[in-house]
Structure 1
């Protein structure tokens, strides 16, 4: 099979038929063998009924329905697990991603040997204040932190070699950082293609300003995981050693100072009256806690069992 098209969605009943017909037109005109995998992330509108109708019309339409809204990352994880195509395309269901970009994305992955190609919505139709400026700041920070030189991490239109999506785990809200996850997994040939961005035709966006706040928090998480995810003791242990050095240094200063004053018959205060006593006590406690955090991290890492953070209620045409 040439292509798997994975489409997560939430309350997009108005756009699904049009999106399906557009994708099918592109697939047929390029003689692709394909599957379309819709993942209904707990929609409360008529989306699932529309998907069932599309599945009856087209045997290439497959679908997964979550019991409730678990998030885009979990939807992609479920879709990736089922995808069988040589190349996997992800796109949003709101018609802002153009299916006519798919053939070029497919060619870049299959024939030009990219592991992953991310879309770049260079010209956007979103609000400048609420989306464009925060998005530019977010993408700048993501480039600086991750080392992956993409202009648009948030673009839902991406193409992957099948091997990539089978070797990464998308959880939490890490869908923004799939290129970084791919890089950390050893897939280094990551490209970018300018794609058309279309104004939303139906409904309203499901994302607000909070996605950028969450995005920056996730960026810190993925920075930590990429650098210390396999060796947490290297971070916590290093800070623990530093705290112990400060603590023992302060304790040593107190002891030497007191002995010096005693030997020279000089007045001296009680140890507890010295600020160095509290510095020593605090830093040694912090050092101990950091060491414990490092050990716990190593234990958890070695006993970790992968689990799916979503529950499926229905599937269509899944083998």
Structure 2
């Protein structure tokens, strides 16, 4: 123990002698160098007021609740590799409330709500919202006493005076407000029993049969507004594979039956074997089948598809697993 303490004393003495020797050699320069080092460290590690403010703001924002706003954007060109999804809001709750009003016979509340939609939010809504609105109006007009009481008189007047200015028909019911009369004409247009042509600040009115021989009316198949919206959206896809996405079940009782109706009208057709292979080209399902069959995949797409059809004639049916694959045929 005594030897260890002696060693410590000797070490301390040597350090003290070294410091004294350095001090005698350099003197105050040591202090100057240390102060310069401290100044450099402070300069390069200090935080500017702007940086400090940003960091403080960032820390404060981390401690505050944030609001995330989801924005639906549509990419250029559809992506057929992803499931058909639509995150937008189509007003299901509002239409449910309207049906509740109809259920209790509160037609005035329905008209008031529809009037607000027609003159306001309708123009900013989604295509599916507009389709649901058109179909709801078509159903409600059948039982609305105001529409059914006024439209026959309008129809006779327009039939005798095709192309008359809209404001002139208001004279038929002078004791009824203009808003109610506009509402009736609005319903008639949604029911496709009235055609309006813009003229200045007003409209000229025609019955559909009065325009059937001109380019003003396009003869269409008997489709509801939601069915037409389904046709429009599915026609943008290269292929339609069953089962349809659950999005359509929110708006149609039987979406696949509706698709069958569109197929029967000629808007879609079943894809043949080569089209099925085209739809599944470079997909995992087809790649696995080709790997198991040890079939070469060299060459262009057409060459590979022809090779598959020759050597694996039943592969298309295996890919769709009993579900039909459709493609659009008509663009009108």
Same fold? TM cut 0.5: no
Q: Larger radius of gyration, structure 1 or 2?
A: 2
- TM-score normalized by the length of structure 2: 0.21
Which structure is higher in strand share?
A: 1
- TM-score normalized by the length of structure 1: 0.21
Which structure is higher in helix share?
A: 2
Task: Tell me which of the two structures has the higher relative contact order, counting C-alpha pairs closer than 8 angstroms and 6 or more residues apart.
Answer: 1
